[in-house]
Structure 1
Amino acid sequence: MKKVSIIDVAKQAGVSVSTVSLVLRQKGKISDATIAKVHSVINELGYVHNVAAANLRANTSNLIGLILRDFSDSFSIKVMASVVQELEKQGYMVFLGQPLDEGETLERCLLSFKQQGVAGVIYLSSDVSRATLPTRIRQCLLPLVVVSQLQMEPGCNLVMRDNRQAASLATRYLIGRGHRSIGYIGGQESDLIRQQRLLGFRSVLKQNGMIYREESAPACSDNTHAVSIATRQLLEKNNTITALLCHSPDAMIGCISGIHQVGRTIGKDVFLTQQVALVGFEDMLHVNLTSPSFTYISSASEEAGRQAAALMIRKLKQPELETQTVTLSGQLIARESA
């Protein structure tokens, strides 16, 4: 069977080859009727547009390199899915790289991107202990967009979460429900996300005439067992605490165990002294299958992916565009736990 060409499409549609090309590239001022007619003929004839060849002729690329270091980081995974979905809507394809370190394997990843002819790079940062980019990422000559849960060093196009706002929102919500003794559970001392959230937590407490106490925000390894122990110890030392901010989904699960170990339950009623209200900072399926379902501040991961894709496309179309930072605020999703 003869391969259908763009010339065949043009003849069948009764238009020029250049018109079909413009329709395929979504360029030029073509009427809706002509666009519909061309697409109808494409479907009828089974024409397949060779994007790679077209890009080669035009010296352009529809490939975007996406670097994801940590596949266990739920925020980055959700961002990745959103980035891919949004770029595909705009006619771009994603070339995924997962370097195991910031040295040789990252260098090979960037070299592979260059060999594949990617137009730009989106870097999903998952390091919570520093606010600087790997040297090889900083030196990347391609258009670069970074997605992070932290405020990063200046000089890069950045999409980031506002951790201080998230903690402030959660704390105001709990105070509004009558809680006057609130703790923060999870995250290690070096965790910059924890540090940023504690700034928001302390600020709201101060605004409401409440005192922040270091012992009410114990740092610990971010695993369920360590959090369970920290929660039990905190509640044993201070049985007036009626609400906890949970650093991560694992911290939520650990808090449940620790709360039960001291004979208390989870719930939003501040007047029932045996109840402890819980608020998290990320929506996770396994957490929301629990009973009660958890109140949380959304991670804005899907929006982060959309913003990163949009920022990359703007940068490709306008190379002279100044460096931008997009800061995303979380929204409170009130459920049964607080």
Structure 2
Amino acid sequence: MRRVLLLIILFNVKITFGSVGNASPYFKRCSYDCTRINCTLDGSKYKTNNLQNFFYTLTYWRCENECEYMCMWDTVDLFQKRQYRIPQFYGKWPFIKILTIQEPASTIFSLINLYAHIKMAKRMKEEIRFGSPNLWLWYGHAILFSHSWIWSAIFHARDTELTEFMDYVCAYSTILYSFYTMLMRTLYNSSKKLLVIVTALCLSFYASHATYIYTGRFDYGYNMQVNVFTGVLAVVGWLSFWQLNKKQIYTRKIALYSVYIAVMTLLELIDAPPLLWTFDSHAIWHASTIPATYIVYSFAIDDCKYLRKQMEFSRKDSF
């Protein structure tokens, strides 16, 4: 449930890749000199082959990338000596790289989230009888969220155009699917025709938005607004569902989940250098979604069991 709910106050936030660090003359000169001395003309490889680490080659770390990484820390040291504010580089704070992993904490927490979804999917399989109402909906939830966390881990480990695109489209898929799950549960007793229409509309919008992101020319502010708006609708919808179904005590779990996610999203508002050059607010946000995973699946299990009982009772009554 990665970035499932960004708050409305983020609507007008603009993301920029022009940062003080990479725009500084010192960083530019350092990167230029390092690349000229150590790298081939295209900047991809070291002139001295034995300097090229196998793992870096495997993950497409170019020689010029290594130069930028070393110069980033030289620039940070310079800024700190002059008592300037720690600068960002290409829209990001400086992180200590472990092996080839650019953001270790976010990568690890993404993998833990992946594990949590897989674990809870197995628990659903053990506790919910096959063919129970809406079980397919929650298996879809497990598949989409697991897929999203895989790409989140890959993106935070290595930021490229491809991994960035996959992280964006997968993140929105989870937000939209949370909204879709809410709609499917709320409209559970509606006609199949209506459910098909809702499904088609959600799929069409997702395809349209994913295509928009793929162009590479999309407005980051607009993308954030779409994420926020969809997430807020999901929260409002689930809280309304809880209000209408308070008699079923287990429904408080989905209310707790929604409020928890909304509150934890405040972490995304914190814009400060990472602690120990590793733990930034975004990484902590990833960590905060781990317990939320157990809450939402606990609701899913209870809800599927409840709907199963309702279905069996209805059959007996009809008989």
TM-score relative to the length of structure 2: 0.29
Bigger relative contact order (CA 8 A; separation at least 6): 2
Return the index of the structure with the highest Cα Rg: 1
Q: Tell me which protein shows more helix as a share of its residues.
A: 2
